[in-house]
Each structure stands twice: as structure tokens, then as C-alpha cells.
Structure 1
């Protein structure tokens, strides 16, 4: 796989971040970790607003054809945590195994992981992955799915090779 095989979007959901009151450390962690599989072509910090999140996801997938969108924030139980709902509205189908794997691995570190409502799925030929809002949570969850990302994205893009080796 070439160095910049996939286009990647990082969408940070944070009311404080959108107002400039908080530095986006989670987005930085994503950028560093994802570098081996692609190039970040889209980056945005928006408030925890359902319509804004939906509009951004649809624009990045339908207009810009971004291969992978990683969201950070808004996956918990706070009233403003609407990332899973926004993601569910735009997905054609879910990839439950990836979200389940992140929760299982995280639960070995904290019981609070069972409160995550993160979703992973596909719209058209783009994958969307919801990650937690903390840099530590982002790192731990992204480490879980990284081994399968390249293969999954290649298949979404039409790779005809057999999966079995």
C-alpha cells in the first residue's frame, strides 16, 4: 500500500473547541496515528450540534468522497453527546464488530467504556468511525481498529483480491 493510499477526515465535536476555548489534542493524536494509511485532507472542529455534524459528514462523503472519517467526541451520555445519532442518520450500514472491539478493549481499562455509544459504519464507499473525546481514549480505541482499517478500506474501494490467505 502506498504511503498516502486513503484520504482521511478528522471531525472533532466539541462546544469548547469550536469556541476556541480548548485545544484539539484528540485530533492531533488521530493525525499522528493515522499517517501510515493515508493523508488527512479534511479537518474541522464543530460544536456538538446534530445538524452541523450530519451536514459535515454528508458533505465530506457525498461531495468530497473522503475515504475515512474519524470523529472524536460526543459518544457518551451527556445531553450534548449526539455524535452517534448524527452518524446513524448518514450511514448506509454499520460495522458493529469494530465498535464492539473498541468497547471490549476499553472495558479492560475502565468500566466507563460500557457507556460508549460509538458507531462505526459505511456511507457509500466511505467509512466513519466514532472515537472518544479524550486523547487517551482516542489512542486506545484507534489502536484496536488500526490492524483492520487498511483491509476494510481497500475492500470498500473495490479491491477484488480474496480475503483468505
Structure 2
């Protein structure tokens, strides 16, 4: 059977053309240096220059500043998309939080917003996610005659690959092999619908209890992608065995805790309640009150756990962004769950009415916001946690009722 050897991650990065546009030469230089290893990077100092370069060599990805003299970044995207020769590209806009919230919209035809000012490492990570998605799409169009793309993962881990498939809404089988281990993961429209790892099937096949061996933690493993493969037996609409494991991730949203200035008490308290209710905690994270950072973390954790719980950032203070980040990544919102938490909270404090907590669904994962105060977080969680196993069963496609 023909094979395409080599590193998937290197091949994925090398064939993506990126056009950076910013009127600040320092920002332009820093981004170009950081992204050069990920693709073929060209630069432009303003929108007019970018238009000329895009016509001459259409980019796969446009990364543009929003505020520039003359034509702004959104107008540049609209101009390029209005021309058939330059219409097919992904876009990322660099903008201040005020511009993102007041002048730009989640409905804008862009893949992501990067908030300015930014840390170079964080901006590079966000841009790399889109580059990986583009590269994967390009590679699937040039697979060998048997339709199977093969290689190794050296710079990209399994979670990065899965996120690229999710962003691209791909339907395929990926086969991961490491030494004598093998894991098959089936995707449909970017969602994992089935997996097989030895004698394990469903959730346990990918998220095996031993963290040193679970497939999602593998690095430097061999990988093949087959866009035409289907499971031997048609899977149910959920990726789970007949008795799916209840896995949970806990996120503490706090500037002071992220800086190490305050001990995180809410996260451990929430985790303790979940463990008593039969959930296995697969991740505990602390993140600053930064909407893009919260949003990215939620997306990443949704590939690791069935239930993602946040504590903090749900009020009305200027840096309370957890509800906005949650809504941005969810497909649907469960208003009744948040209403029940506020109703129970009102029995203890009149300020419960000021909570903006959200509960939502992303794919087959439920995300729940809790207050930052440990006692309030525990009270809110205990008010709804018994609903979650049944809710997870429903969102996974199992609508049978006993």
C-alpha cells in the first residue's frame, strides 16, 4: 500500500501562505519572525500594499490589523473576498478589546480575533491553530491514490490535530500508532463519534485512565488520515461505550490566582463536589480574566472532558468575561440550568440576581459557569449537578428513557 512518509506537522506548516498586514513595523517584524517556521510568510505595511500582494500571490491566511490608515482590516477582507481570484482565504483580525466588543462582531467572516496588545507566544499559538486547519485541508486534497495520508506527529500533538479537524468540520478516520499501541478515532463534521483503542471503545479509548498512555497525550506518534473510512458497525451519535465515563475539567478564572497572588480555593472545592458525584477530574486549570484566553481554554478542554466547569468571572465587574467566552464557544445555551442556580442562590443572598452564569452545550460537552466565591460555587453546583449525567446522555444522542 503506498505511503506518504515524513512529519505531518512539518508538511502541514510548509505549504501555507500567510500574509501579515500591520502599519506598526515592530509588530509586523515580531509576528513574521515568530510565524516563519509555520508557513510561507509575506508582509504588508498597509491595506493598499496588501491588496497588491494578495492579487499577485493569493494568501491562504490573512492576518491583519483592524485600525490602519485609509482602509481598515475589515474593509481589506471585504475587498479581497469580493474578487473571485482572491476570495478563498482564512482571516484573523488583530484589534483592541474595545474594537472587538463594539465595532467588530462574532458574525464577521473571520476565523479568529487576537486582542491587542498581545503576548507574542499567545498570538502565535492562536494563529498556528488556523494554519494547522488550513494545512490539513490542503493536504487532504493531495492524498495518495488509496486516499490515506500518512506521516508522523512531531511538532503537533494529538489534541492540536483534533482541534484542527474540529475547526475544519472534517469527517474522517485518524489512526494513531505508537510502538505496539494503536487508536482509531472517527470524526463526523468535526465531532468525534467513535473510537477504538485495543479492547476499549468510545470515551475510554481516547481518554484512558492512565494519563501517561492515553492517546490524547501522545507525541511523536505515527498518524494516518483516511477520509472515506467508517466504523465496522455504525456508531451511535455519541463517542462513548454503553456506560460512558463521567469526566470533568475545572477552570478557575481569576487574574490574581493566575498571577500567583491569591490561592485558588474555588477550583479544589468544585472538584471535590464533582468527585463525590462520580466524576473523574481530568484537568484543573487557572486562567486570567481574559476573554480570548478563556475561550481558547474552554475549546481545548472540551476535547478532554464531558463536563467543563468554570468558577469566577460571572459577575458585572469590568473584567468579568466568563459568560461571554462561554457563549462564544457554545452551540446552544441551557437557560434553565443557570436559572435554577440563581434561584437556589437567592435563598442565601440577594446578590445572586447579579450573577450572569451561563450553561451551554458544545458538541457533546456541557460547559457550566459558577461564581468565584467558593461557597457560592459549591452551592450553585450542588443545585444542578444531578442533572448533568442525564443531560450528557441526551446531548450524546442517547434519548432512551428508563
Instruction: Tell me if TM exceeds 0.5.
Output: yes
Cα deviation 1:94-148 (Å, max 9, x = unaligned): 0110000000111111110000000001000000000000110011101100221
Higher CA-based Rg: 2
What is the CA–CA distance in structure 1 between the aligned matches of 2:380 and 2:399, rounded to whole Å? 28
In structure 2, which of residues 281, 305, 310 is the aligned counterpart of residue 71 of structure 1? 310
The answer to whether the aligner puts 1:126 opposite 2:360 as a matched pair is: no
Measured on the aligned residues, the alpha-carbon RMSD in Å equals 1.6
What is the CA–CA distance in structure 2 between the aligned matches of 1:94 and 1:112, rounded to whole Å? 23
Runs of 4 or more, structure 1, over 6 Å off, are none
What is the CA–CA distance in structure 1 between the aligned matches of 2:374 and 2:387, rounded to whole Å? 21
What is the CA–CA distance in structure 1 between the aligned matches of 2:264 and 2:380, rounded to whole Å? 17
Q: Which residue of 1 is the match for residue 163 of structure 2?
A: none
Gaps of 5+ in 1: none
Q: What is the count of residue pairs matched by the alignment?
A: 160
In structure 2, which of residues 318, 321, 329 is the aligned counterpart of residue 82 of structure 1? 321
Q: Which residue of 2 is the match for residue 106 of structure 1?
A: 345
Q: Which residue of 2 is the match for residue 56 of structure 1?
A: 297
Q: How does 1:1-165 map to 2 (within 5 A)?
A: 5-35=245-275, 36-61=277-302, 64-162=303-401
Q: Pick which of 129-138 and 31-40 moved more.
A: 31-40
- What secondary structure is seen at the aligned counterpart in 2 of 1:37? coil
Contact 2:289/2:322, CA 8 A, preserved across alignment: yes
What is the CA–CA distance in structure 1 between the aligned matches of 2:294 and 2:253, rounded to whole Å? 8
Cα deviation 1:19-44 (Å, max 9, x = unaligned): 11111111111111001232111111
- TM-superposed CA distance for 1:150, in Å, is 1.4
The structure in which a higher percent of residues are helix is 1
- TM-superposed CA distance for 1:65, in Å, is 4.2
What is the CA–CA distance in structure 1 between the aligned matches of 2:357 and 2:312, rounded to whole Å? 9
Contact 1:65/1:126, CA 8 A, preserved across alignment: no
What is the CA–CA distance in structure 2 between the aligned matches of 1:93 and 1:65, rounded to whole Å? 19
- TM-superposed CA distance for 1:158, in Å, is 3.0
- TM-superposed CA distance for 1:155, in Å, is 1.9
What is the CA–CA distance in structure 1 between the aligned matches of 2:399 and 2:317, rounded to whole Å? 42
Contact 1:107/1:114, CA 8 A, preserved across alignment: yes
What is the CA–CA distance in structure 1 between the aligned matches of 2:399 and 2:314, rounded to whole Å? 34
Contact 1:131/1:141, CA 8 A, preserved across alignment: yes
Q: Pick which of 135-144 and 34-43 moved more.
A: 34-43
- What secondary structure is seen at the aligned counterpart in 1 of 2:267? helix
What is the CA–CA distance in structure 1 between the aligned matches of 2:270 and 2:343, rounded to whole Å? 20
